[in-house]
Amino acid sequence: MFTRYQMAKLLIHLRAMNVTEALALVKTVWSAMRSSRSNELGDASGRSSNDAGLSLAMPGGIPTLPPILHKIIGLEGARSKSIGFSMNDIVALGNQMEYANLSTTTVQNWIKRDVKDIIATPQAGKKYSVEQVATIFVIEDLKSSLDFESIRRMLGLIFNDPRSDDDDVIHPVDFLAAYAEVYEKFRTKGLAVADIAHHARTFAEGLADAGAEERRSVAHAITVAVLALQASSFQFAAKTIASSVVIDRRLS
């Protein structure tokens, strides 16, 4: 699975239409997953994590490359200056992230009703832009801990008019990358809330074009997003353990 930071990097590459870098990241993540799965299955062949092969035929229980990632790979050599995502694409891509469990119907409902003033209408023709995709992923992370009214108020302070990226204090893709990077530090080092807030303020202070109040808003939003993502990881772990217990009981 992609970490949030890896997904943010993928979106950054796609925003710049740097498909070569996007493809390299997909290969790295998926090869690592195949290698890990091979080890779990006791695969004596010991597939290397550096193996960049992306074959659809992977026997022995090793996961196959999802269609959405094949679609990204297919962008290599494309002449378009931008990329658009359908709702099904967004859900499929989002579900490649750890702790994520999106459904098309659910996302459509809250985009049309709960956060329509944050997402706006599709900006890449009839499809959603990379920045809109990132906004959807951010909202998905936040809604595990916040109600939609709180999400609208907080993101409205840093994204401003969703119909244009020009007035953003920070673009959605960059915001996703910012809190995902802090979360990775939190996860590996066990940072306290005060440490998370410190990292968030340090990042926000580097926004040269933002005013003091805008930087505070970004710092607070990053801190909240990191904590919400951590809450999602705990919820995911709890559900996984609970499901395992039920399955074990039924099989015993």
Cβ–Cβ under 8 Å, residues 104 and 128: no
Q: Which residues 6+ apart lie within 8 Å of 100 measured at CB? A: 94, 137, 140
Cα dist from 232 to 101, 132, 144, 179, 251, whole Å:
10, 21, 6, 14, 28
Percent of the chain beyond pLDDT 90?
57
Mean pLDDT of the chain: 86
Rounded to an integer, what distance in angstroms lies between the CA atom of residue 157 and that of residue 192?
A: 25
Mean pLDDT of 5-20: 94
Taking only the tens place, the pLDDT of each residue in 201-244 is 999 999 999 999 999 999 999 999 999 999 988 888 888 888 77
Query: Does residue 127 carry a pLDDT above 90?
Result: yes
pLDDT reported for residue 248:
63
pLDDT reported for residue 133:
96
Query: Does residue 53 carry a pLDDT above 80?
Result: no
Mean pLDDT of 173-184: 97
- Helix spans in the chain (H): 4-15, 19-40, 67-73, 87-94, 104-112, 116-119, 130-142, 148-159, 172-189, 193-205, 212-251
Q: Which residues 6+ apart lie within 8 Å of 190 measured at CB? A: none
Query: Does residue 131 carry a pLDDT above 80?
Result: yes
Query: Does residue 115 carry a pLDDT above 50?
Result: yes
For residue 164, the one-letter residue type is: S
pLDDT reported for residue 236:
82
Identify which has the larger pLDDT, 145 or 53.
Answer: 145
Q: Which residues 6+ apart lie within 8 Å of 69 measured at CB? A: 26, 30, 96
Hey, what are 220's tokens?
């607070």
pLDDT reported for residue 40:
61
Taking only the tens place, the pLDDT of each residue in 58-103 is 444 556 888 999 888 888 766 666 789 999 999 999 999 999 989 9
Cβ–Cβ under 8 Å, residues 234 and 242: no
Cβ–Cβ under 8 Å, residues 34 and 56: no
Identify which has the larger pLDDT, 51 or 34.
Answer: 34
Cβ–Cβ under 8 Å, residues 114 and 148: yes
pLDDT reported for residue 81:
65
